[in-house]
Structure 1
């Protein structure tokens, strides 16, 4: 049992008889019912410039992608918990939250099945050039006139799964699940990449450089941190096989977008697919991967983009709602700290300590 000092419910602000919840991005999913006295403001979307005004009276803030910065928290004196309805929380300043005594929770592994399944969809779409074929059929008469669209693969027929060597970058919950799916689909070989610039290679892993040299499909499954930004840039892309694909289901900015656009235009690699971009939401001209062709910008070939939607399944929504509820109600009830050395799995920061 946790000690009383660790398990006491947090006090309400002076003069208040209930908590006030502010939801910054209700557009993504419905909120679960919370079983404690509260008021709630649900904003479907929030621009960064609106955060300060919206959270200033909150004890509980629920966010997803829009950052709640230290500067914004300066104007929210009663904030006790920042609950992130997502897995990735790279925008959270954990040390600052610990200093303030603000608890941070997230939804660990809530989207793993959905994201790894989406990886397979992007892989097949990229290798089979599904989007390009669809566009040819629906926007031109090329199939009708030529009788075949196999010339969309100028180097010859594409690989099948049984010929592919998958290189997984990021071997956490997502990467381990992806390994199982890839083997079930029939990938010939799966390589687990060691960290970039690592001085030693752990058993069962392959060096970062060798993974890039050998893989015909590179899966990006790791968090966006200071040491993974631009993990793949020009030098790395040039070292890859010409028939290789890159599939990114992690975060934008891990693969340098300028370098990837150049690699695809100049044929350093065969193709790429990404569910994430450095600037989101995205549109024409917001990324080197999304040129505005109407303004004379060159199209990026052999690229498939989905709109950060890999997580979106019925099971993920249920998982997020459950984990969000556990985190918020655990904070309100003072039960997130299980003992001196253990906290609930949703906890990132609690009681002035960064737990993960």
Structure 2
């Protein structure tokens, strides 16, 4: 296998088993070879990218050590087959002039529909009802209605009674807002947490936190959004509030969320993402054994999963590599 050169690229796929890998058509005089690893853990990254000029990944962490000239001397382009890019040390890439591209807006439909599904699961306690019914509790008790009333003894809200707060007004946030509105919810689009700008289409962050009965989180993870929903926000929320997170786990203070649920400050939570992933009982308080009685719906960062998403990802990956080779890179994040 030839090493990368001015006219030859070696593309290394770090998580090939979750991708539809396209056939690239590079402009002359460029050629390419490729190595496909089905899956790569963070400790394996450095060794696997040592002879790559282009790497393709979905979520694995690539740190400053892996991005050093000593470890990845040929590296010129990183394509993230996802919207988020917090797994890459962007500063290290800037210092070396390594281009980083992502694949935005590929999973809009899947993620937004997953968010709405998680809302219904949490609001209606569908999983608990399913398990109780399967276990024979309905036959045994005759009536399970009182097991599924809210903490104040009232039945769950219907969509027409919901106030949906949308935190994040990107492509996913906009589609969630559309779906929520079509279901009959009153929709509030939040302004940024710290903003002095006047925008008549948005509602101040604090007002959205207080007024919403269902709060959808759809923001990227950066320093301004890390743990930006924490104890003060939970203390301000409606006691009927359901929190739905389909963005990044680090945006929510997980310990504060568990505490809010224990103290019944809010009604429930649903999350597809966790601060540390892959997540399990030993890594996240949201999955610990002692929270089994709380109204928490959890899925394993698969809100994006759909046929359409995979097709979109393949097309955007192909475009990112080919356009970069022409000197006209797309979706560049640094």
TM-score (norm: length of structure 2): 0.92
| Deviation of 1:333 (Å) | 3.1
Q: Distance in 2 between matches of 1:281 and 1:27?
A: 16
Matches within 5 A, 1:223-242: 223-242=220-239
Indicate the larger mover: 228-237 or 85-94: 85-94
Q: Relative to 1, partners in 2 of residues 1:109 and 1:288: Cα closer, same or farther, differing over 3 Å?
A: same
Highest RCO, 1 vs 2 (Cα 8 Å, sep ≥ 6): 1
Contact between 1:290 and 1:300, CA under 8 Å: does it hold in 2? no
Contact between 2:4 and 2:52, CA under 8 Å: does it hold in 1? no
Q: Distance in 2 between matches of 1:239 and 1:84?
A: 37
Q: Relative to 1, partners in 2 of residues 1:197 and 1:331: Cα closer, same or farther, differing over 3 Å?
A: closer
TM-score (norm: length of structure 1): 0.87
- Match status 1:157 vs 2:155: yes
Unaligned runs of 5+ in 2: none
Match of 2:199 in 1: 202
Q: Distance in 2 between matches of 1:300 and 1:55?
A: 44
Contact between 1:265 and 1:301, CA under 8 Å: does it hold in 2? yes
- Match status 1:44 vs 2:42: no
Q: Relative to 1, partners in 2 of residues 1:218 and 1:201: Cα closer, same or farther, differing over 3 Å?
A: farther
Match of 1:334 in 2: 327
RMSD between superposed Cα atoms in Å: 1.6
Unaligned runs of 5+ in 1: 1-11, 337-343, 350-356
Q: Distance in 1 between matches of 2:7 and 2:327?
A: 17
Match of 1:174 in 2: 172
- Secondary structure of 1:39's counterpart equals strand
Match of 1:323 in 2: 316
Match of 1:113 in 2: 109
The one-character-per-residue Cα deviations of 1:37-73 (angstroms, maximum 9, x if unpaired) are 3221111221111111000000110011112222102
- Secondary structure of 2:303's counterpart equals coil
Q: Distance in 2 between matches of 1:347 and 1:199?
A: 28
The one-character-per-residue Cα deviations of 1:75-103 (angstroms, maximum 9, x if unpaired) are 11111100101011123233432331211
Matches within 5 A, 1:269-308: 269-291=266-288, 293=289, 297-308=290-301
- Secondary structure of 2:21's counterpart equals coil
**After the TM superposition, which parts of structure 1 deviate over 4 Å for at least 4 consecutive aligned residues?**
none
Equivalent residue pairs, number? 323
Q: Relative to 1, partners in 2 of residues 1:58 and 1:269: Cα closer, same or farther, differing over 3 Å?
A: same
